[in-house]
Amino acid sequence: MSKKVAITGMGIVSSIGTTVEENYNSLLHSKHGISNISRINTRHKNTIKVGEISLSNEELIQQLDLPESNNYSRTALIGVIAAKQAVASAKITDKIDGRTGLISATSVGGMDKTEQYFYEFLDNEKNRKYIDGHHAGDSTHKIAKQLGITDYVTTISTACSSSANAIMLGARLIKAGKLDRVVVGGTDCLSKFTINGFKSLMILSDTNCTPFDEDRKGLNLGEAAAYLVLESDEIIAKENKKVLAYVSGYGNANDAFHQTASSENGDGATLAMQKALKISGLQPEQIDYINAHGTATSNNDLSESKALRRVFAEAVPDLSSTKAFTGHTLAAAAAIEAVYAILALRHNVIFPNLNFKTAIEETGIVPVTTVKEKRIAHVLSNSFGFGGNCSTLIFSK
């Protein structure tokens, strides 16, 4: 069989905690991070709920000890913090060299700063430092610099599935022996741009979101960053390293149906799950837990439910969407949910799908609504994005 892809470190910053432990505790105690927005002065502040990270930019800058002249967007700040946590937890002892890569995902990049200073750039020279911090590759470059990664560094931006693809690519590179070690994940901060974008699509809920509920009203946006360290068999054997879990399967497919909507029967989602199962060599019944995409939009949850029925028929495994905890964190979503999948594997626990009351009539899928302990060997995690991008990852003990 082909090589295994070990996960040896993880880091996360989200609205339910700024460390892995804090996130785990919030998940175990059903403490969600959804609130009114406080850091962005938006007209919609009374009609939306978001998953906001508790730390201010100033606090984040202080934590990273950055000079005042820095041009970090919030995306870069939370990205660096989560990536550093991941590398620290992987206990990397040898020098990071060209055999270590970084694959980051982001969709908003430095939009938070761009929208803040958009018209000011012309007259205010001081803020112009943020102009070149706008593009998606900038936050990745900053993370690479902070981690000392100098060679293979790239960014994936496929909307809400971005970091699933970053993890997938990292796994493929390790398997092929192109890299020995790779830091993978994603980061996205809240911005007026995305708030108004999703608002104009009329898919933002004015209440706490209710994934997989018949009466769901839409999604809550969130902000987060999370990274994993993937390492090759050789490093694991050589350094006798502790392995948190393995990336055992991955699949990417395109729905090729509509720029933003999912196809009625979840064609892309079905294909992505089937491909991931095939790569992992697992049968559908071997999946113990599904961390669903479950954004709580009318379209996604129905389409995903139908795809789940197509893949798992009547035997859909225990399932939950953790988006009612964190909000939908866009390009970071798959990475934070990868951390949750690993926590589920390590602690043999399923985290609840909050705010669920009634099953979607058409598919009848009932998620797990309270913390459930059971032996978990394999977790399947879905992430879908605009542009028909459907990605599935499978994590194993």
Listed in sequence order, the residues at least 6 apart from 59 whose beta carbon sits closer than 8 Å to its beta carbon are none
# chain residues binding another protein, by CB under 8 A: 68
Applying CB under 8 A, among 54, 260, 286, 348 the residue interacting with another protein is: 260
Cα separation, 170 vs 231, in Å, equals 9
Contact predicate 209/182, CB 8 Å: no
Contact predicate 119/133, CB 8 Å: no
Active site residue 160: yes
Amino acid (1-letter code) at residue 83: A
| Residue placing its CB nearer to another protein in the complex, 268 or 317 | 268
Applying CB under 8 A, among 196, 265, 299, 369 the residue interacting with another protein is: 196
Taking each helix axis as running N to C, give the angle between helix 162-175 and helix 333-347, from 0 to 180 degrees, rounded to the nearest 10. 60
3-state secondary structure 112-175: HHHHHHCCCCCCCHHHHHHHHHCCHHHHHHHHHHHHCCCCCEEEECCHHHHHHHHHHHHHHHHH
Instruction: Tell me which residues in 21-80 interact with another protein (CB under 8 A).
Output: 42-44
Least CB distance to another protein at residue 388 (A) = 6
Query: Which of the residues 32, 160, 209, 378 is marked catalytic?
Result: 160
| Residue placing its CB nearer to another protein in the complex, 122 or 237 | 122
Active site residue 293: yes
Contact predicate 367/319, CB 8 Å: yes
Cα separation, 170 vs 1, in Å, equals 18
- Report the Cα 49 to chain-centroid distance in Å: 19
Site string for another protein, 73-102 (x = CB under 8 A): -----------------------------x
Q: Is 107 in the site for another protein (CB under 8 A)?
A: yes
Query: Which of the residues 32, 189, 328, 390 is marked catalytic?
Result: 328
| Residue placing its CB nearer to another protein in the complex, 175 or 241 | 175
Calculated CA dihedral for residues 135, 140, 146, 151, nearest 10 degrees: -120
Contact predicate 5/175, CB 8 Å: yes
| Residue placing its CB nearer to another protein in the complex, 84 or 175 | 175
Applying CB under 8 A, among 7, 12, 48, 156 the residue interacting with another protein is: 156
Question: Which of 6-14, 56-64, 220-228, 252-260 is the region at the interface with another protein (rule: CB under 8 A)?
Answer: 252-260
| Residue placing its CB nearer to another protein in the complex, 27 or 171 | 171
Which 3 state secondary structure label does DSSP give 37?
coil
List, in sequence order, every residue forming a beta bridge with 270; answer none if it has no partner.
Answer: none
Applying CB under 8 A, among 39, 217, 257, 397 the residue interacting with another protein is: 257
Q: Is 298 in the site for another protein (CB under 8 A)?
A: no
CA distance to 56, 74, 201, 246, 332, per residue, from 130 (Å): 18, 11, 28, 38, 22
Q: Is 301 in the site for another protein (CB under 8 A)?
A: no
Applying CB under 8 A, among 14, 73, 75, 114 the residue interacting with another protein is: 114
Cβ neighbours, 10 Å, residue 67: 6
Applying CB under 8 A, among 57, 63, 99, 137 the residue interacting with another protein is: 137
Question: Which of 180-188, 195-203, 285-293, 356-364 is the region at the interface with another protein (rule: CB under 8 A)?
Answer: 195-203
Burial class (CB in 10 A: 0-12, 13-18, 19+), 313: exposed
Active site residues: 160, 293, 328
Per CB under 8 A, residues contacting another protein are 42-44, 102, 106-107, 109, 111, 114-115, 118-119, 121-122, 128, 131-132, 134-138, 140-141, 144-145, 149-159, 165, 169, 172-173, 175-176, 178, 192-193, 196-197, 199-201, 252-260, 267-268, 271, 385-389
